[in-house]
Structure 1
Amino acid sequence: MASFHLTFDLEFFGFLPAGTTTTGFFWVYARAIAATFFFLAGVSLWLGHGGGIRWRAFGRRLAMILGGAALVSAATYAADPSTFVFFGILHSIAAASVAGLLFLRLPAAVTLAAALAAYAAPQFLRTGAFDTPWLAWLGLTTYGIRSVDFEPFLPWVAPLLAGIATAKIAARSGLFAALRRHPPSGAIARALGWAGRHSLAVYLVHQPVLMALVWAFTRIVGAG
């Protein structure tokens, strides 16, 4: 994510050609990163609540994600109201996590089938009935959405459901038990563990820091 945002910042300040991050490799790269976020959120949801929903912990986590989403919306609205983030990756992860609760106790095959259906839904269910700002978050409008980050519920709930299903399969195969018996060690493992435990803070802070650094660079050498 940081590498993509650094590329975006370099494009924004003119060091890379316009459209670099919205076409070709970086277009695919951005979606692969987002899919990984959702997938890991699904794995985490099952690890935390697969044995029974811990409502207080879930509510606390959901509140943190929604708070982060609100900060992103407010900051991007202040920067440019015409393209502000009204349903970005944090908003979508929050909604998908609530939906994911329904699949925690269902068989992995059912959850995977639901993931495939969610992925395919925008290809078949788009209709003018969803062409209203209040339903745009579903991802079924017949027109494109103008926003610097739009990750609609459909199809993005799909990788989260896939993460839940994969976690179920991994648990049944004994993978998680093996990892608990032989946890990774070393500085890299500790750094990754810290980043994982503070992923929301890392997500919220890294882009302003990167943009500030690129801006400072432009003050020294000039814009691209």
Structure 2
Amino acid sequence: MRNTTVDLMRTLAIVLMVVFHFIYDLRTFGYHQWDIPDGPGWKHFRYVILTLFFLCVGIGLVYAHSKVIHWQKFWKRELQVIVGALLVTAMSLVMFPANWIYFGVLHFIVVASVLALPLLRYPTIALASALVVIAGYNMGWLKSYWPFHFIHQIWPDVLPSYANDWVPLIPWVAVVWLGVWLAQQPWFIRDPLKQIQLPDWAQWPGRHSLIVYLVHQPLLVGGLHVWRWLVQ
């Protein structure tokens, strides 16, 4: 049985992501000069999207593997996300060679999923670990550039100084662990949004989020290229 609340969370994250990237692409094509993604408001808009996505990562891992880890299923999904991450990196090298993506959303999900496995049966420990990471980050004890600062120190010119879609492991791994905790709370298990009846097409993006994530930017950029050609 599917959880409507999780499907709606994923769908909302996907919709917001497409809106965010469309506005970003409009800036790339010169249609506005808003400071996206790092300006006031836009940065926090992105944080909302990432929070929804990463909560769902933790929740999904619990639903799939909390009783027993199905290793074949887990690694099959990991492989799919790894391939997607490599495609994103390859496309970014072509489109944004100075700011290519070396650790974006999909790269993060690959690593964070592995780190969440030991906590799937221990929601209280997952919550405590998340709070420790969040507190440590905000107090300056844990740094967001770990572990990539080692690469910068050894090979300073290998990675870009500013990368598109950068998702630091710290503190965002804490959100995945919060998802592990959330998935096992009685009120969430009861599926609080199950009364919302949406057509299947409205829930489809949340159920196929990886596909949407991979194809939406090529479609948006391609569409803007076609539009520019038509209006010239």
Whether TM-score is above 0.5 comes out as yes
Residue 43 of structure 1 is matched in structure 2 by 59
1: distance between equivalents of 2:21 and 2:56? 20
Per the alignment, in what secondary structure is the counterpart of residue 209 of structure 1?
helix
1:167 aligns to 2:177 (yes or no): no
161 and 192 in structure 1: CA distance in 2 versus 1, 3 angstrom threshold: farther
1:217 aligns to 2:217 (yes or no): no
1: distance between equivalents of 2:39 and 2:57? 26
1:15 aligns to 2:28 (yes or no): no
Q: Which amino acid aligns with 1:114?
A: S
- Where do residues 40-79 of structure 1 align in structure 2 (5 Å cutoff)? 40-79=56-95
What's the TM-score, normalizing by structure 2?
0.80
- Where do residues 52-201 of structure 1 align in structure 2 (5 Å cutoff)? 52-106=68-122, 108-122=123-137, 123-126=140-143, 131-133=149-151, 145-169=161-185, 173=186, 175-176=188-189, 185-187=197-199, 190-201=200-211
Q: Deviations over 1:144-169 (max 9, x none)?
A: 94101110211111111111100011
1: distance between equivalents of 2:176 and 2:144? 25
Q: More helix by proportion, 1 or 2?
A: 1
- Give the length in aligned residue pairs: 208
Shift of 1:133: 2.0
1: distance between equivalents of 2:111 and 2:84? 13
Per the alignment, in what secondary structure is the counterpart of residue 17 of structure 1?
coil
128 and 221 in structure 1: CA distance in 2 versus 1, 3 angstrom threshold: closer
Q: Deviations over 1:40-95 (max 9, x none)?
A: 11111111111111111111111111110000011111223321100001000110
Conserved 8 A contact 1:84-1:147? yes
Unaligned ranges ≥5, structure 2 = 1-16, 155-159
Q: Percent identity?
A: 30
Residue 139 of structure 1 is matched in structure 2 by none
Of structures 1 and 2, the one with the larger relative CO (CA 8 A, separation 6+) is 2
2:45 to 20, 29, 38: 29
127 and 48 in structure 1: CA distance in 2 versus 1, 3 angstrom threshold: closer
129 and 94 in structure 1: CA distance in 2 versus 1, 3 angstrom threshold: closer
Q: Which amino acid aligns with 1:89?
A: V
Q: Deviations over 1:89-140 (max 9, x none)?
A: 100011000000010111x22211111222234421349995322799xxxx
2: distance between equivalents of 1:146 and 1:128? 12
Conserved 8 A contact 1:120-1:155? no
54 and 199 in structure 1: CA distance in 2 versus 1, 3 angstrom threshold: same
Q: Which amino acid aligns with 2:32?
A: L
157 and 175 in structure 1: CA distance in 2 versus 1, 3 angstrom threshold: closer
127 and 178 in structure 1: CA distance in 2 versus 1, 3 angstrom threshold: closer
Conserved 8 A contact 2:59-2:183? yes
1: distance between equivalents of 2:182 and 2:144? 32
Conserved 8 A contact 1:112-1:165? yes
2: distance between equivalents of 1:116 and 1:135? 29
What's the TM-score, normalizing by structure 1?
0.83
